Chains A and B, each alone.
Chain A
Amino acid sequence: MKVRQVSVFLENKKGRLYEVCKRLAEEEVNIRALSIAETADYGVLRLIVNDPGKAMRVMSEGGFTVSETEVIAVEVPDVPGGLFKVLAPLYDANVNIEYLYCFVEKSGESAIVVFRVEQLDEAIRALRDGGYTVMREEDVYRI
C-alpha cells in the first residue's frame, strides 16, 4: 500500500534537473510522476518511478544526495470536488498532510493523488474506510 518515492536534493542552478533526467533516461528509468519544492537556494525533486531501487542507485552513483520516503497514492474520480472529498477522511482522522501532488491517469477518468503524511497507517485506514482505493505499489509503478 505504501509507495516508494525518490527525493533528490538540487541546487538552484542551471542544468541540475537536466542532469538528473539525463541519467534516468540513460538507465531507462521511467518517471511516473514528479513534483518540485523549492526555496531561493535549492529545491527538492520528488519522483515516482517504475523502479525506485534503480533510481536510487543511479542517482547516488551520479553524486546526488537522495532519500527514499514512503507515500500513499490514491485513485480519485477526475471530477470537480474530487480532491476535496478525498481530504475529508484524512481531516476526520486528524492526519496532517506534509505535501501532496496529483496526476491524471491515462484513461482520463481518474486522477491519482500522492500524499506525504507522518501517520501512514492511520491515513491508509481512514482512506479505505472512506471508500477510497489506496493503490498497490506495483500498480503505481506500472501506470
Chain B
Amino acid sequence: MRCFNPVETLEGDRLDELKLERLRSTVDRLYERVPFYRDKLDAVEYRPGDIKSLKDLESLPFTTKDDLRDNYPFGLFAVPMRDIVRIHASSGTTGKSTVVGYTAGDIQVWADLVARTIVAAGGDRDDVVHVSYGYGLFTGGLGLHYGAEKLGATALPMSGGNTKRQVRMMVDFGSTILCCTPSYALNIAEVMREMGISRDSIKLKAAILGAEPWSDEMRRQIEEELRISAHDIYGLSEVVGPGVSIECEEKKGLHVFEDSFIPEIIDPGSGKVLPPGERGELVFTNINKEGLALIRYRTRDISRLFPEPCACGRTHTRMERVTGRTDDMLIIRGVNVFPSQVEIVLMQIPGLSPHYQLVVDRVENLDVLEVQVEMSAEVFSDEIKQLEVLEKRIRDEVQSYLGVGVKVRLMEPRSIQRSEGKAVRVIDKRKI
C-alpha cells in the first residue's frame, strides 16, 4: 500500500486528537464569523470552548441543503469574499443552486485529498489522468484535475462528451487512469469496440468512478471490459467535491479522509446517531476548510460506517458505497434531478394533467429517464401530429430545465397509480 499523505495512516488516538483539535477550532471560528451558525449554536446554548471530546459533536445542530439555499449565494461563507478564490455550484437542484466557495488554502487541501484518491486507485506521478467529468461549476472536472496536478501526474482535461475523441486521445496520449461516471466508462468501452480499437492499444490501468450510484455487478463489467481496476469515489460539492472518500485496493468500503471530514450516521427520522455498522443518513462536519465549513451537514445519502482497520493500512474509517437517498432525489447520468422540478415544468404547460410519474431505467448502461404524463381532455387532439407536438414541447421544456435528456410518454387518465398521502412519483428500475 502506498499513500499520498502520511496522515492517512495516522494511528487511531493521534487521528482522534487531530480531529478534536480541528473540530473545536472550526466550530468556534464559525461561531465568531457566520451569523447563521452563531444563531444556531446560541439556540443550543453552545459557548466557544464547549467542545471537550468528539462525542460533543452530537449535541450540535444539523445543517441542511435548505440552509444553504436560504443563505444563497454566499451567506454561509466564513471568510470575506476577497479571500475566496473559487466558486462552484451544484448541478440542477430544486430552485436555487447551492453555492460553495474556496480559499487558496482550501484549493490546496482539496487537491491533496484528490491526490490521495488517485494514489489509492494505484496512481503516481507517471500516470496520465484522463478527466472526463464535466469542467465548470460542477466540482467533478476541476476537482480531479487539481488532484492529478498535485500528485505530479499528467492531467488531461477532457471534460464530458464526444466519446470517439475521448477514445482517440486515450490511445494517442496513453491515458492510464480514467475519471468519469461508471455509466460513461461503459459507454467508452462500447465506443472503443465500435471503433475497432483493441484493448491492447490503450494503456488504461484504473478508473476513478463516481457521481452516480452503481453496483458491484457494474464494477465487474467495467473491470472486465476495460481490464482495469475500478474504484468508487465519493464526494459532494457542499462538503468539498470529489475526494471525501475513496476505495482502496481492498474495495471493501470507501475511506473517509477523517482529518478533513468527520462522518456520522444518523437515523433520518429522529436525528440520533446510530451505532457503528448500522445504516442511516450520512452526515459530515468539515474540520479543515476555511471558505465554507459546514457543521453536521445532512447529505440525504444512505450508508454505514465500518470503523474496523482495513488491510490496506489506512486508519481512516470506511463508509459503505451509498445505497440510496432519504429524499426523492434521482441522479441521472451525474445530474441531480428532483421530481418537483419536473412538476414545475409540467404545471407551466396549460391544460396538462398534474399527474405524472418518472421511470428511471438503465438501458445499455445509460440511465434513461421517462416522464409519464396523463392525457387530459384539454390537450387531447384527434390528430397524432398535434399530440407529437405536445410530446415534443414537454420533452424540450423538461430537458432544458433539468439539463438531462428525457423520453416523454403520454398516458391514459388514471393510469398513473394514485397513492394515499404522498404520491409515488418515481419508479427506479435500475438494478444497482
Interface pair B414/A41, CB less than 8 Å apart: no
Chain A residues within an 8 Å CB radius of B385: 98
Interface pair A37/B413, CB less than 8 Å apart: no
Whole-angstrom distance between the alpha carbons of A16 and B387 in the complex?
A: 19
Chain A residues within an 8 Å CB radius of B380: 7, 9, 65-67
Interface pair A99/B383, CB less than 8 Å apart: yes
A119 at the interface (CB under 8 A from B): no
- Interface size, A (range): 20 to 34
B411 at the interface (CB under 8 A from A): yes
**How many cross-chain pairs have Cβ atoms below 8 Å apart between A and B?**
54
* Given A5-B382, A44-B382, A11 contacting B411 (CB threshold 8 A): yes
Q: Mark A58-102, 1 if CB is under 8 A from B, else 0.
A: 001001111101000000000000000000000000000011000
Whole-angstrom distance between the alpha carbons of A11 and B414 in the complex?
A: 12
Chain B residues within an 8 Å CB radius of A7: 380-382
Chain A residues within an 8 Å CB radius of B381: 7, 44, 67
Chain B CB within 10 Å — which of A38, A41, A46, A64 has the most?
A41
- Interface size, B (range): 10 to 19
Chain A binding surface SS class: strand
Interface pair A46/B413, CB less than 8 Å apart: no
Interface pair A63/B414, CB less than 8 Å apart: yes
**Distance from B253 Cβ to chain A, minimum over Cβ atoms (Å):** 43
* Given A9-B375, A66-B377, A67-B377, A98 contacting B412 (CB threshold 8 A): no
Whole-angstrom distance between the alpha carbons of A57 and B170 in the complex?
A: 64
Residues of chain B from 391 to 414 with CB closer than 8 A to chain A in the complex: 409-414
A interface residues (Cβ-Cβ under 8 A, vs B): 5, 7, 9-11, 16, 37-39, 41-42, 44, 46, 60, 63-67, 69, 98-99, 116
26 A-B pairs within 8 Å (CB atoms) are namely A5-B382, A7-B382, A9-B380, A9-B410, A9-B412, A16-B412, A37-B384, A39-B384, A39-B388, A41-B409, A41-B410, A42-B375, A42-B411, A44-B381, A44-B387, A63-B412, A63-B413, A63-B414, A65-B375, A66-B377, A67-B377, A67-B382, A69-B382, A99-B383, A116-B382, A116-B383
